[in-house]
């Protein structure tokens, strides 16, 4: 059976058919533009939260207990007025569970983790990135040779404080249908320790 010739020449539904073919590509393009904007927004939030965390960490109580009060001149055997060597204190990394300090012994054997200070840093960062969790945050204190043993007005070591944010993910809108996510890069911000005392930042 042969179809009627007039049906082969019919063009009234051509626009609808073409639109149906183009619509999926148009929606993908539109949602792609929206997702790029959302990704850049979250990227900027995470970056600013990291910078805020570093600023807060250098002007408030250290997460590494003892860093402010320990005297390397009195208890560490370092000559008064000299820079604290890395053999006495090199670095310490604190997360939401513990602080690891190096090298072992001496100053590091007297330290602990200040949970309140860490919580305060995370709370400050959450003002910029509300979905941030404590498990995403890490604070590192590194001796870079600033400060001096026996400083009567502050910590003997003016450490370089680095706040890191890791493990963040971004979920595009297409992932609302399909279970998927994109890993965001790690974020870091570093500043030299200032007064390192109290719970209020400027």
pLDDT in tens, 63-112: 999 999 999 999 999 999 999 999 999 999 999 999 999 998 889 999 99
Q: Does 110 map to a domain?
A: yes
What CA–CA distance (Å, rounded) separates 80 from 43? 45
Q: Does 200 map to a domain?
A: no
Contact 159, 142 (CB under 8 A): yes
pTM of the predicted protein model: 0.84
Q: Does 135 map to a domain?
A: yes
pLDDT at 60: 95
pLDDT at 198: 82
Q: Does 201 map to a domain?
A: no
Which parts of the chain sit beneath pLDDT 70? 1-14, 177, 202
CA angle 102, 81, 114 (to 5 degrees): 40
pLDDT at 50: 98
Number of domains present in the structure of the chain: 1
Q: Does 199 map to a domain?
A: no
pLDDT at 144: 96
Contact 64, 93 (CB under 8 A): no
Domain enclosing residue 48, as ranges: 5-192
Label residues 26-40 b or e (16+ Cβ within 10 Å = b): eeeeeeeeebeeeee
pLDDT at 27: 80
């Amino acid at each position: 059976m042969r179809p009627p010739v007039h049906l082969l020449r019919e063009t009234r539904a051509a626009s609808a058919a073409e639109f149906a073919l183009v619509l999926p590509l148009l929606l993908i393009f539109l949602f792609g533009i929206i997702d790029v904007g959302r990704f850049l927004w979250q990227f900027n939030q995470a970056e600013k939260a990291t910078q805020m965390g570093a600023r807060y960490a250098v002007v408030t109580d250290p997460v590494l207990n003892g860093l402010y009060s320990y005297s390397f001149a009195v208890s560490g055997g370092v000559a008064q007025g000299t820079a604290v060597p890395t053999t006495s204190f090199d670095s310490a990394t604190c997360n939401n569970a513990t602080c690891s300090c190096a090298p072992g012994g001496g100053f590091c054997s007297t330290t602990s983790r200040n949970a309140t200070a860490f919580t305060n840093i995370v709370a400050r960062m959450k003002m910029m990135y509300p979905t941030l969790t404590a498990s995403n945050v890490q604070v590192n204190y590194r001796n870079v040779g600033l400060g001096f043993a026996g400083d009567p007005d502050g910590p003997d070591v003016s450490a370089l404080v680095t706040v890191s944010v890791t493990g963040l993910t971004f979920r595009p809108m297409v992932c609302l249908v399909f279970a998927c996510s994109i890993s965001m890069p790690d974020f870091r911000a570093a500043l030299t320790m200032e007064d390192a005392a109290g719970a209020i930042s400027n």
